[in-house]
């Protein structure tokens, strides 16, 4: 399994693009000034959480450990501290940290994606 920050970014970009496309299919965008206002209504963070929580890089310990070793981020570490997570084993820690890496990267990618869509609409 090859993984690095570029592969992580592309995976998160695909996840976020799918979330936005699915969310906008049945939503009246004319009710909002910008896509940022829509993002709260569409609850993108919960959808990102669900996608990351079930992602193979998080649920499979070996892949989680690879993600942790290749794509460590301070944002992910901060996320874990904010959540107040405590662990009983290394594998618990690896999967939780892998989730935090994916979740924080997806949040960053989603912000960039929404910002780009907002600029296109303006």
What pLDDT digit, counting tens, does each position of 41-72 carry?
A: 678 899 999 999 999 999 999 999 999 889 98
Q: Where is average pLDDT lowest: 32-41, 62-71, 72-81, 87-96?
A: 32-41
- In angstroms, what CA-CA distances link 93 with 3, 44, 50, 85, 102? 19, 25, 19, 9, 14
Q: Give the chain's radius of gyration (CA, Å).
A: 16
Does 38 have pLDDT greater than 70? no
Total tally of structural domains belonging to the chain = 1
By CB atoms closer than 10 A (0-12, 13-18, 19+), residue 69 is exposed
| pLDDT interval class at 24 (50, 70, 90) | confident
User: Which whole number is the average pLDDT over 63-88?
Assistant: 85
Does 79 have pLDDT greater than 90? no
* pLDDT score, position 101: 95
Q: Is residue 30 part of a domain?
A: no
Q: Is residue 4 part of a domain?
A: no
* pLDDT score, position 72: 82
| pLDDT interval class at 74 (50, 70, 90) | confident
Burial 84-120 (b: 16+ CB within 10 A, else e): eeeeeeeeebbbbbbbbbbbbbbbebbeebbeebbee
Domain that includes residue 64, residue range: 43-122
Q: Is residue 101 part of a domain?
A: yes
Q: Is residue 84 part of a domain?
A: yes
Q: Is residue 66 part of a domain?
A: yes
**Mean pLDDT of all residues in the chain?**
85
**Residue 107 and residue 26: Cα distance in Å, rounded?**
22
**Residue 94 and residue 2: Cα distance in Å, rounded?**
17
């Amino acid at each position: 399994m090859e993984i690095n920050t570029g592969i992580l970014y592309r995976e998160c970009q695909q996840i976020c693009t799918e979330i936005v496309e699915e969310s906008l299919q049945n939503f009246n965008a004319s009710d909002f000034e910008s896509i940022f206002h829509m993002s709260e209504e569409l609850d993108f963070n919960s959808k990102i959480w669900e996608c990351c929580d079930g992602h193979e890089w998080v649920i499979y310990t070996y892949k989680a450990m690879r993600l942790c070793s290749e794509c460590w981020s301070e944002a992910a570490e901060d996320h874990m501290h904010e959540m107040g997570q405590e662990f009983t084993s290394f594998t618990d820690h690896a999967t939780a940290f892998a989730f935090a890496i994916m979740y924080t990267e997806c949040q960053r990618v989603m912000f960039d994606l929404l910002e780009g869509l907002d600029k296109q609409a303006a």
